[in-house]
């Protein structure tokens, strides 16, 4: 720790700390990087098939829900490890399992959302063709998210538990 108190009165330091938390979680948590990659893929697919209106809001909310659950799971795991002092404890294990269950539940909801938006409201084959058309006709447009996704999947560091 830097010796500073946990609570700030000014607004800017609170945003700075939140941003640092997002960056730290992204760097250290492979599951978060995977969910960011999957969310990026879903957003690209949504653009390719022409999702609009309530569907954009639903997809955006679903992506935010999964990422939020993963961030909370990370916080629970870290706090539980700290509280348990490196020892195994049944309550610590239960807390981690429940937090992981929340992530699983939101990921299953994301799968439902993808099925609804890309297979039920549209023909799945047409959705896949639209994504391929986007990849073929605008490959440079997809290069930044593709690079970020690949780096996110294979990059990062491991935190010491």
| Nearest-angstrom CA–CA distance, 153 and 151 | 5
| Nearest-angstrom CA–CA distance, 132 and 9 | 50
Burial class (CB in 10 A: 0-12, 13-18, 19+), 47: middle
Binding residues for ATP: 29, 77
- Say whether 42 sits in a helix, a strand or coil: helix
Query: Treating both helix axes as pointing N-terminal to C-terminal, what angle do 30-49 and 90-115 enclose, rounded to 10 degrees?
Result: 10
Binding residues: 29, 70, 77
Active-site residue (options: 70, 97, 126, 160): 70
Q: Does the annotation mark 70 as catalytic?
A: yes
Enumerate the active-site residues: 70
């Amino acid at each position: 720790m830097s010796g500073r108190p946990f609570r700030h009165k000014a607004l800017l330091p609170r945003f700075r700390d939140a941003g640092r938390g997002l960056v730290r979680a992204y760097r250290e948590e492979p599951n978060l990087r995977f969910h960011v990659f999957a969310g990026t893929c879903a957003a690209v697919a949504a653009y390719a098939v022409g999702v609009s209106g309530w569907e954009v809001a639903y997809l955006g909310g679903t992506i935010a829900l999964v990422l939020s659950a993963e961030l909370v799971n990370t916080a629970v795991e870290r706090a539980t490890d700290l509280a348990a002092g490196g020892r195994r404890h049944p309550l610590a294990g239960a807390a981690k399992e429940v937090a992981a269950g929340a992530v699983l539940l939101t990921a299953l909801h994301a799968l439902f959302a993808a099925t609804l938006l890309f297979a039920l409201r549209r023909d799945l084959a047409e959705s896949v063709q639209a994504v391929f058309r986007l990849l073929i006709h605008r490959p440079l447009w997809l290069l930044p998210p593709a690079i970020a996704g690949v780096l996110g999947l294979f990059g990062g560091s491991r935190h010491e538990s």
